[in-house]
């Protein structure tokens, strides 16, 4: 069975490992034991192409690299199989803390890089927990209990103690079993509260359906994500008064190199026809379709909300940040193309707000909560401020199709000759924009 520190880097064992192996002098020194674990990992791809890490710093970089590269079409999981070998747990814990410190020092706790690290930790733990699913349910449950109890008391956990966890969006309060404000996590508490109500059913089966292993795993992952955020924030504050170690700065710089490499590969893999559309490009408002132009001039009371929030917001965001979204096979987040949210704050949001102010009456004058709904449609959850730390709590909505516009907002649809055979306003925009660019080039 794997060590709990392989899943929970904030366990007592993990902290002891950091004290034992985390000496800054040894971080860039070759470690033969680390290499031995990697080379003896079942199914691990070896050779030059695998670029096996032989130092703790290189392992930290590979840990981050795995998450970014796994989004590419030609990703080979076997190059990183060692990340799921429980024998590497001690080195893995140290590499986790190296990443947290490097990103906190160089990029800050609110950075896109930190957001990626937290997401990668979620993904890494999730995949590692898949390894224990072959074990009996009681073994899985006990393992998760031990890992969780390093962070919370699973027999006495009030829902108010995990409000920040709930805000991460991994758990829903409505789906939790509560008794006097206490979250029912363990089987003995489940039986104590609901045992008398269960007739002709297997209590353990009922427990697993309403919580059980899945609840424990989700809670554990969410708590680790939350503790990671808090730890990085603490490191950022402490390092303001001390000189950072050059090794950590080097690690952070190499992470930026990996990000650039991934972006280049993602764009080039789509071919030259998509390259311009898979990155932020300046607005060409002459290419906006009639429905968008009409909406930006202002909508009268009655259909303002849907027109601005559901229709205009996705269009304005994608047309500036990622107009080629319909050529992509998977969802995307704004931070992947606008890491600092500078474009989003300075160009996208103002254009949406301008249209909202043109409505009759101005949308936010009597409907200020729609600012929160706009943030939600951009993928940043139900929050009044658009911040990186909230990204992913909701999805970045894609532009509404022409068919849906005709059905739900028919007054917006005033087609011209260019609208023929077009299924989405964003498609209209992309075609019209290229046509205008071609005409401009021909006139030069």
Per-residue model confidence as pLDDT tens digits over 78-122: 999 999 999 999 999 999 999 999 999 988 888 888 989 999 999
Query: Rounded to the nearest 5 degrees, what angle is found at the Cα of 96, between the Cα atoms of 22 and 105?
Result: 85
Q: Give just the sign of the alpha carbon dihedral 357, 363, 369, 372.
A: negative
In angstroms, how far is the first alpha carbon of the chain from the final one? Answer: 69
Other residues' Cβ atoms within 10 Å of the Cβ of residue 245: 16
Task: Please provide residue 291's backbone torsions phi and psi, each rounded to the nearest 5 degrees.
Answer: -65, -40
Name the percent of the chain lying above pLDDT 90: 58
Residues 6+ apart with CB under 8 A from 149: none
For 163-218, the pLDDT digits (tens) are 888 887 778 888 889 999 999 999 999 999 888 888 888 989 988 988 899 999 99
Q: What pLDDT does 444 receive?
A: 59
Contact indicator for 161, 152 with CB cutoff of 8 Å: yes
For 325-350, the pLDDT digits (tens) are 887 767 889 999 999 999 999 999 99
Other residues' Cβ atoms within 10 Å of the Cβ of residue 107: 21
Other residues' Cβ atoms within 10 Å of the Cβ of residue 420: 7
Q: What pLDDT does 269 receive?
A: 54
Q: Which of 75-84, 135-144, 161-170 has the lowest mean pLDDT?
A: 161-170
Most distant pair of Cα atoms in the chain: their distance: 83
Q: What is the 3-state secondary structure (H, E, C) of 163-221?
A: HHHHHCCCCCHHHCCEECCEECCCHHHHHHHHHHHCCCCCHHHHHHHHCHHHHHHHHHH
Alpha carbon distance 444, 442 (integer Å) = 6
For 259-314, the pLDDT digits (tens) are 877 766 765 554 444 446 788 999 999 999 999 999 999 998 778 999 999 999 99
Q: What pLDDT does 37 receive?
A: 95
For 358-386, the pLDDT digits (tens) are 999 999 998 999 999 999 999 999 999 99
Q: What pLDDT does 267 receive?
A: 56
Q: What pLDDT does 271 receive?
A: 47
The model's pTM is: 0.68
Name the percent of the chain lying above pLDDT 70: 95
What is the pLDDT of the chain when averaged over all its residues? 89
Alpha carbon distance 425, 68 (integer Å) = 31
């Amino acid at each position: 069975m794997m060590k709990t520190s392989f899943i929970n880097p904030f366990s007592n064992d993990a902290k002891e490992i950091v004290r034992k192996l985390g000496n800054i002098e040894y971080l860039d020194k070759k470690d033969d034991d680390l290499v031995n674990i990697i080379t003896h990992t079942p199914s691990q791809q070896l050779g030059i192409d695998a670029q096996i890490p032989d130092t703790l710093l290189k392992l930290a970089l590979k840990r981050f690299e795995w998450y970014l590269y796994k989004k590419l079409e030609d990703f080979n999981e076997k190059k990183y199989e060692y990340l799921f070998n429980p024998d590497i747990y001690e080195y893995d814990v140290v590499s986790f803390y190296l990443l947290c410190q490097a990103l906190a020092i160089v990029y800050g706790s609110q950075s896109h890089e930190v957001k990626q690290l937290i997401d990668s930790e979620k993904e890494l733990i999730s995949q590692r927990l898949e390894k224990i699913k072959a074990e009996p349910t009681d073994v899985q449950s006990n393992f998760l209990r031990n890992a969780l109890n390093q962070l919370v008391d699973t027999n006495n956990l009030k829902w108010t103690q995990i409000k920040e966890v709930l805000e991460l969006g991994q758990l829903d309060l409505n789906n939790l079993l509560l008794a006097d404000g206490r979250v029912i996590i363990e089987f003995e508490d489940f039986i104590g509260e609901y045992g008398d109500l269960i007739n002709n059913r297997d209590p353990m089966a009922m427990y697993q359906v309403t919580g059980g292993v899945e609840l424990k795993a989700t809670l554990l992952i969410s708590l680790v994500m939350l503790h990671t955020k808090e730890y990085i924030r603490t490191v950022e504050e402490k390092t303001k008064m001390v000189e950072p170690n050059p090794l950590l700065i080097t690690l952070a710089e190499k992470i930026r190199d990996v990000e650039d490499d991934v972006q280049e590969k993602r764009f080039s893999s789509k071919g030259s026809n998509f390259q311009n559309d898979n990155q932020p490009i300046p607005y060409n408002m002459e290419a906006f379709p009639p429905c968008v132009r009409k909406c930006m001039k202002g909508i009268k009371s009655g259909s303002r909300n849907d027109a601005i929030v559901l229709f205009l917001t996705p269009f304005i965001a994608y047309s500036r940040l990622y107009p080629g979204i319909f050529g992509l096979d998977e969802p995307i987040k704004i931070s992947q193309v606008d890491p600092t949210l500078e474009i989003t704050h300075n160009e996208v949001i103002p254009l949406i707000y301008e249209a909202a102010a043109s409505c009759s009456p101005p949308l936010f004058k009597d409907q200020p909560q729609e600012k929160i709904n706009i943030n939600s449609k951009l993928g940043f959850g139900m929050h009044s401020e658009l911040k990186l730390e909230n990204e992913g709590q909701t999805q970045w909505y894609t532009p509404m199709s022409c068919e849906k516009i005709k059905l739900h907002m028919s007054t917006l649809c005033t087609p011209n000759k260019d609208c023929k055979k077009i299924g989405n306003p964003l498609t209209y925009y992309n075609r019209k924009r290229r046509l205008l660019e071609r005409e401009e080039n021909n006139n030069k």
